[in-house]
Chain A
């Protein structure tokens, strides 16, 4: 058969594509369970970090998670009792500058203070907007009071806002748009918590 004939070209392309896609399907099936487990693990860890119960022992993360939060469905608000304090916790996702930011946020039952915030995934510029996952930024939310009209992320001045009562956190220098996006995301979550609380 001639190599440049129409039939050969079609048959060759088909067979090559079939073989490669077949192998990928096999590998995907073989790893999908692991990938799902990794994702669950990361989410569980984020929940624990958010309420200040970070677990370093990898084998205990999942059991600790289900003990504290039970089974969590999507982005629904979860009520949890941590050290005798009743909290509202939820996973969130919102629009960052470049892509979706997902994470976990916890507030007190009456939605007057943020307990903590953790980032699960984001697509912000590494070193700029990507710094939202760094401790210094996230820790500013810990124990921060929530004013009537929500949290404000002000323009970054290279430091972090230490006052937990003013409802203001310092943004990231050089990443004003990501900082502004975080303000919107956090305030959306606060609005949802308030809706849940009033029900």
Chain B
């Protein structure tokens, strides 16, 4: 990690070190929310905002945080932002808050956020930490949106609530259940890794 230019960080978080493909973090929410694209977009947006803000805050406070309680303070900061997001959703977009239900609270346990705080924000300046958090969130969002698009179309015949496939289409019940996310995620990781390896070889 010696070439920390913004462009390098972007490429790393979206592709070569993607939180889902490569670091295999945040899998829990990948399985849980991806059967509906609208929920996925809001959820990943919330994760992106929380990652960016908590990384920035950790970076700002890094000189003051004692090593012994480092993790507790990081968790506190993350929980702080998640609760804020939850309150804002509840007050201003209640429909989405209703649809996401308990998942918002579970953002706290998303390993990507803690991972970025610990791996990057602890040792980098605030602006870079903000950018790193933002792009990590986007890398997470990209993968989840792909999975959600496939699952919603095949599982419900709709995309963001709009009917895509005709009424004659028999929906694949497995696609709205968690196992299908495992299959799709596995296939995606396989595809992404193959491309990466091919590039490395050439």
Contacts and interface: CB of A to CB of B under 8 A. Distances in A.
Interface string A122-156: 01011110000000000000000000000000000
B36 A127 contact: yes
B184 interface: no
Contact of A28 (B65, B66, B69, B87): B87
Contacts, number: 73
Contact of B176 (A4, A16, A123, A126): A126
Interface residues of B, number: 32
Interface string B42-61: 00000000000000000001
A118 B162 CA distance: 22
Tell me which of A12, A42, A126 has the highest count of chain B C-beta atoms within 10 A of its own C-beta: A126
A148 B61 CA distance: 67
B66 A38 contact: no
A173 interface: yes
Contacts of B76: 16-17, 20
A56 to B, nearest CB: 15
A68 interface: no
Interface residues of A, number: 28
Tell me which of A9, A38, A42, A121 has the highest count of chain B C-beta atoms within 10 A of its own C-beta: A38
A39 B98 CA distance: 10
Nearest to A174: B173
A3 B66 contact: yes
B87 A127 contact: no
Contacts of B72: 13
A127 B156 contact: yes
A22 to B, nearest CB: 11
A93 B1 CA distance: 54
Contact of B90 (A12, A31, A173): A31
Contacts of B69: 9, 12-13
A42 B80 contact: no
A17 B91 CA distance: 24
13 contacts: A13-B69, A13-B72, A24-B83, A28-B87, A31-B90, A35-B90, A35-B91, A38-B90, A126-B176, A127-B176, A128-B173, A128-B176, A174-B176
| A-B CB proximity, top 9 nearest | A127-B176, A31-B91, A34-B91, A174-B173, A38-B94, A20-B80, A9-B66, A127-B35, A35-B90
Given A121-B98, A173-B173, 8 more contacts: A4-B66, A8-B66, A12-B66, A24-B84, A27-B87, A28-B87, A31-B91, A127-B35
